[in-house]
Amino acid sequence: MMASSSTATVADGAAVDLQTEAYLRNRGLDPSIAASHGVSGTDGVISFAYVCDGALVNEKHRSLADGRWWQRGGGEKTFWNIDSIKAEGCADFPIVITEGEFDSLAALQAGWPRTMSCPDGAPSHSIPLDTEGRKYDYVHDALDLLDGEKDIVLAVDNDGPGHALL
């Protein structure tokens, strides 16, 4: 269910107010696609719902004024939009993993339905994988979903943090 009015874009229960609509449009992003993927915005804050197996497990927020990010305390670390891996009728598409949620929205808008984002963006330097996980626990947790996938695209920036994710 998607509707657009003079006050907000609403899709599947997520509402984006006019300020957030303008912010998304200024970045070249479609507010209706954002709202349909659990993005909401009000009072100068854009929020990304982290949903895993249909349940809300975390929320990540960004101030539109100063760009500051924060997450719900005690929330689960997982890929944003991880349920897209299991999207019906999309098995022939590659999985696209991006550094951030806005990058994922751009990929979704470009027609890549199985797109998800790292929960904390890219680290400033390489962090080795270890058996305890820590920084990359969310990758370890998703391995069963990723196992057997033919194509996984890492869509990262060509900078230090982007290289660190590779």
Q: What is the pLDDT of residues 108-154, one digit of tens each?
A: 999 999 999 999 877 766 666 665 556 778 888 899 999 989 999 99
Instruction: Please report, for residues 43, 56, 104, 115, 117, the alpha-carbon distance to residue 79 in angstroms, rounded to integers and kept in the order given.
Output: 26, 12, 11, 10, 5
Does residue 92 sit in the same domain as residue 131?
A: yes
- Residue 32: the pLDDT is 93
**What's the pTM value of the predicted model, to 2 decimals?**
0.86
**Alpha helices in 57-151, H assignment, sequence order:** 101-109, 137-146
Q: Are 30 and 68 in a shared domain?
A: yes
Name the one residue in this structure whose structure tokens are 């080795």: 128
| Confidence check: pLDDT of 13 > 70 | no
Instruction: Kindly state whether residues 37 and 92 are assigned to the same domain.
Output: no
Same domain, 92 and 155: yes
pLDDT higher at 163 or 87: 87
Which structural domain range is residue 88 located in? 77-166
Looking only at the bridges linking them, the beta strands covering 95-98 and 115-117 are parallel
Q: From its phi and psi, is residue 38 left (phi > 0), alpha (psi between -120 and 50) or beta?
A: left
User: How many structural domains is the chain composed of?
Assistant: 2
Whether 151 and 100 map to the same domain: the answer is yes
- Specify the higher pLDDT residue, 32 or 2: 32
User: For the chain, how many residues are written?
Assistant: 166
Q: With bands split at pLDDT 50, 70 and 90, how would you rate the model's confidence at 7?
A: very low
Q: Closest by alpha carbon to 103, among 70, 74, 79, 127?
A: 79
